[in-house]
Amino acid sequence: MSISESLFGEPNENAERPRLLFTPRPTPDISDQLARALGDLFIIQEAAPGPRPLVQRAMRTFIFRGKLTGDSERLYPVITERFKALGFTPMLQRDGDVDVVIALEGLLQARRVSSPVWLHVLLLVITIITTTLSGAQFQNYRLDVLIREVGERGNLAYLWNVIRAGAPFALTLLLILGVHEMGHYIAARRHKVDVTLPYFIPFPLIGILGTLGAVIFIKSPLTNRKQLFDVGISGPLAGFVVALIAFIIGLFLIPADRPNLAFYAAFGSERLGMPLLLQGLGDVLRPDIANLSRFVARQPVALAAWFGMLLTVLNLLPIGQLDGGHVMYALFGRAAWSIALFVFAGMVFLGVSGIFPSLMIFAMLALLTGLRHPPPGDDITDLGTRRRLIGYATIVLFFLIGTATPFMFGPG
């Protein structure tokens, strides 16, 4: 999952936040200077002061309506540099057939936050431990027995058995999460966007997964829709490919011959909601499996892949700063705001009704980062046919790998 904040969006206290640093200029004809800075890049049809600051702490705004003389993706960086010399930051928007340049007083700069490499490594090591212990629980190794055997009796052979039992689940899940985050990282670096290394998040209590996932923070703004799309979609698609391969491999591995007691303890059954794609793969590749849900619950690699699919779906929810929020805004612009409100209402319903209680965690995350995805500085640049087709295909994929009832409570 990637978390970022545009200059023009709602604040995210956990993300690296760009700031407007003021260099007030007493020059009385600043509007004329901005107009001259646009020069041969923009044909001005109308110029006026902005009615109010569009960004908190922005001192003055000026609005220029007219027509760009070329491609916005090429011209926006030039306008940005020219406005920067005057102490302003530009936004590009489109109103019907009219291009709009909004000049915001203040310069966009990201706060510099650097984490030592050892912190990323430490979080990864801890997450490996917690996910391995969770994987061992799925193979019916109990944590209290592990503490007694190793801590009290020094039985290292038992510890090795626990590691062997939990490693397939842990390594599969962490590979999916790691490739997901590196997809974001590589796409961001390709666009010359400043981004952190992945932070793996160990779950402090050994439970279903042993991790809350992983995250990277985007420290410099994503300036146009192409960047939003590429950075947002690269992680989920990369993680999906790994999860799909792992699930297929897991179908041909031997499951445990005993019930998954960890699932029984949490849900009273081993029943998992099977997305259409996974059920179809099971029917085609392993028609001999009578109960695919039970098979997946007892096979650690397949189970980790199932969770990987679930996390991919959650990240693709079209809300705020989630990956799906980036993609939906890149595809549909401000219409994505209405989609986000509708999806958020659905998330709250599924969470409160008890159909999918843990979905409330993502609903709260969406509230913290803002339901509306902020527009990029250049809100004009078109995605192009290839990116749009990939985006529409990803929407279809969302429904193929998602299910409203991933955990089916009760006996069965």
Q: What is the pLDDT of residues 97-139, one digit of tens each?
A: 999 999 988 877 665 657 888 999 999 999 999 999 999 888 8
Q: Are residues 99 and 122 in the same domain?
A: no
Last residue of one domain, picked from the residues 110, 134, 155? 110
Q: Are residues 247 and 368 in the same domain?
A: yes
pLDDT greater than 90 at residue 56: no
pLDDT band at 158 (very low <50, low <70, confident <90, very high): confident
Residue 7 lies in a domain: no
Write the burial class of residue 371 (CB in 10 Å: 0-12 exposed, 13-18 middle, 19+ buried): middle
pTM (two decimals) = 0.84
CB 216 within 8 Å of CB 184: yes
Confidence at residue 260, expressed as pLDDT on a 0 to 100 scale:
72
pLDDT band at 322 (very low <50, low <70, confident <90, very high): confident
Q: Are residues 174 and 308 in the same domain?
A: yes
CB 327 within 8 Å of CB 321: no
Host domain of residue 26: 18-110
pLDDT greater than 50 at residue 149: yes
Last residue of one domain, picked from the residues 57, 92, 110? 110
* Per-chain mean pLDDT for the chain: 84
pLDDT greater than 70 at residue 380: yes
Last residue of one domain, picked from the residues 89, 110, 131? 110
Q: Are residues 345 and 363 in the same domain?
A: yes
Confidence at residue 206, expressed as pLDDT on a 0 to 100 scale:
55
Confidence at residue 109, expressed as pLDDT on a 0 to 100 scale:
67
pLDDT greater than 60 at residue 161: yes
280-287 average pLDDT score: 94
Cα distance between residue 260 and residue 292, in whole Å: 14
Task: Report residue 347 as tokens.
Answer: 């998330």
Q: Are residues 88 and 124 in the same domain?
A: no
170-178 average pLDDT score: 96
Cα distance between residue 273 and residue 405, in whole Å: 6
DSSP H or E stretch at residue 3: strand 2-3
pLDDT tens for 300-309 read 999 999 999 9
Q: Is 28 helix (H, G, I), strand (E, B) or coil?
A: coil
For 39, 55, 79, 97, the CA distances from 59, given in Å and listed in that order, are 24, 9, 19, 29
Of 129-143, 180-194, 261-275, the one with minimum mean pLDDT is 261-275
Confidence at residue 119, expressed as pLDDT on a 0 to 100 scale:
93
Look at the chain and report how many structural domains it folds into.
2
pLDDT greater than 60 at residue 9: no
